Amino acid sequence: MRALIGNRLVANLVPKERQYDVRDTRLPGFLIRVNPTGKMFYVCQYRRGRRINIGQVGIITPAQARDKAVTILGDYAKGIDPKAKKIQPQTKLTLKEFIEQHYEPWFLEHRKSGNKTIAHINRCFTKPFGHMGLDEFTPSFIDQWRTQRLKIGRSTETANRDVATFKAALSKAVLWGLIDNHPLDKLKLLRSDRSGKIRFLSKDEEKRLREALLNRDIRKKAERASANEWRAERGYELYEDIYQYSFADHLTPMTLLAMNTGLRRGELFSLLWENVNFDYAVLTIEGAYAKSGKTRHIPLNSEALQVLKAWRAQTKSYDLVFYNKDGNRFDSIKRGWAKILEVANIKNFRWHDLRHHFASKLVMADVDLNTVRELLGHSDMTMTLRYAHLAPEHKANAVERLVTANI
């Protein structure tokens, strides 16, 4: 079989009962070997009967494999047998080489937040330590680095996330056979009290937030009407009349939906209208857009359903539920969110805390933790158990029953 070896071909290849090869139509000697197990490998046949494995499909890209094949074929043309070349020990692979040649291509292909995570790894580790071999990192070295991070004001949770991200990258190096052992396997994360830092809205704060959102919509509608009066007087084309709609823009419906569903920011930004079932009042988060990678279904309460119906009536025919002025997916709403919090006089409250708020209200309403786990999309109870501590008033009422029981 002959075909152009690229991402499209790789995505469409399927295993058969017997092993088979697909030869590239552009570069003679470059091919993919497809095994019955489903594993596929890039191979370079630099002369009849002599082949060398380049790498596994999914770990390196077709373009990277092609470049390696060109190098192998070039060496052979110069009289150099690729298998006779001295191979550097795997442990001499530097961090920079590992990230650029192996981890980054794989991560960008398999992770939704690939660009941000790779940029973070490069900023924290590759830039200062890229020259170091993978085997040179030790628990002591990373522990000292983590200590310095804490000294400059980074939180324990942030330091732990950074270390966990780096350890995960090195785990892939072990899995792919690039190093024999995980150099940081014995390094433990620092203890931290995560449950004590969970933030949710008080009743008064929620009231102020809702009022601020309502007043913002009223103000923006009035500003649009005023602008159209000015444009009409001068014969300019008018802006769309938003007085006819429930909301001035995306911020209010996005906030109310997050409060009533517990959606993560990325899930909210990627939400499609095809995943909103108005007849059954159910919202579906596809596994491709979920942090856990698993699809889940969230029942819509009356407010969430009303918000989505009203928003659907005023949006254009885009696939996305929420989209920016260019019709594309949002990357951030920091500016509008920060302003609304300022107006509502709410301190130390992030967008992600709306998810905590959703969970805390469920717990205070006596919803069992397993149901909360399913609604939030947690893979196990570990993360959900944090919310068992989010209802101080509810727990106070519980212990108060000891007093009433003795009356």
The Cα 72–Cα 68 span in angstroms is 6
So what's the pLDDT on residue 87? 40
Confidence of residue 291 (pLDDT cuts 50, 70, 90): confident
**Do 134 and 76 sit in the same domain of this protein?**
no
Confidence of residue 86 (pLDDT cuts 50, 70, 90): very low
Q: Is residue 370 part of a domain?
A: no
- Structural domain tally of the chain? 3
Average pLDDT over residues 78-101: 72
**Do 211 and 270 sit in the same domain of this protein?**
yes
User: Of 87, 117, 147, at which residue does a domain stop?
Assistant: 87
So what's the pLDDT on residue 378? 84
Confidence of residue 58 (pLDDT cuts 50, 70, 90): confident
Q: Is residue 394 part of a domain?
A: no
With 0-12 / 13-18 / 19 or more C-beta atoms within 10 angstroms meaning exposed / middle / buried, residue 385 is middle
User: Of 302, 319, 346, at which residue does a domain stop?
Assistant: 346
Tell me the pTM.
Answer: 0.63
Q: Does residue 123 have a pLDDT over 80?
A: yes
So what's the pLDDT on residue 405? 59
Contacts with 23 (C-beta within 8 Å, 6 or more apart), sequence order? 1, 2, 3, 30, 31
Nearest Cα to 137, choosing from 171, 161, 111?
Answer: 171
The Cα 338–Cα 255 span in angstroms is 12
The Cα 184–Cα 352 span in angstroms is 31
Confidence of residue 336 (pLDDT cuts 50, 70, 90): very high
Q: Is residue 101 part of a domain?
A: yes
**Do 135 and 155 sit in the same domain of this protein?**
yes
Q: Does residue 90 have a pLDDT over 50?
A: no
Average pLDDT over residues 173-181: 86
Average pLDDT over residues 27-46: 90
The Cα 345–Cα 213 span in angstroms is 12
Q: Is residue 118 part of a domain?
A: yes
**Do 285 and 261 sit in the same domain of this protein?**
yes
**Do 313 and 266 sit in the same domain of this protein?**
yes
Q: Is residue 98 part of a domain?
A: yes
Report the range out of 22-31, 100-109, 175-184 with the highest average pLDDT: 22-31
**Do 214 and 320 sit in the same domain of this protein?**
yes
**Do 211 and 313 sit in the same domain of this protein?**
yes
The Cα 289–Cα 264 span in angstroms is 10
Check which CATH number belongs to the domain holding 219 and give it: 1.10.443
Q: Does residue 398 have a pLDDT over 70?
A: no
The answer to whether 152 touches 121, Cβ cutoff 8 Å, is: no
Q: What is the share, in percent, of the chain residues with pLDDT greater than 90?
A: 46
Q: Helix, strand or coil for residue 258?
A: helix
Q: Does residue 310 have a pLDDT over 60?
A: yes
Q: Is residue 361 part of a domain?
A: no
**pLDDT tens column, 138-172:** 999 999 999 998 999 888 888 999 999 999 999 99
Half-sphere exposure of 40 (CA within 13 A, CB side): 25
So what's the pLDDT on residue 116? 83
So what's the pLDDT on residue 406? 59
Check which CATH number belongs to the domain holding 12 and give it: 3.30.160.390
User: Of 128, 162, 192, at which residue does a domain stop?
Assistant: 192
Q: Is residue 381 part of a domain?
A: no
The Cα 355–Cα 351 span in angstroms is 8
Tokens of 252: 């209010």
Q: What is the DSSP string of 91-155?
A: GG-BHHHHIIIIIHHHHHHH-TTHHHHHHHHIIIIIHHHTTSBGGG--HHHHHHHHHHHHHTT--
With 0-12 / 13-18 / 19 or more C-beta atoms within 10 angstroms meaning exposed / middle / buried, residue 255 is buried
**pLDDT tens column, 355-393:** 999 988 888 888 888 888 888 888 777 777 777 665 555
The Cα 78–Cα 95 span in angstroms is 31
The Cα 104–Cα 169 span in angstroms is 9
**Do 108 and 136 sit in the same domain of this protein?**
yes
**Do 341 and 207 sit in the same domain of this protein?**
yes
Q: Is residue 369 part of a domain?
A: no
Structural element, H or E, at residue 359 = helix 353-364
**Do 208 and 329 sit in the same domain of this protein?**
yes
- Maximal CA-CA distance, the chain: 98
Check which CATH number belongs to the domain holding 151 and give it: 1.10.150.130
So what's the pLDDT on residue 88? 44
Task: Print the domain residue range for 45.
Answer: 2-87
**Do 170 and 240 sit in the same domain of this protein?**
no
**Do 184 and 237 sit in the same domain of this protein?**
no
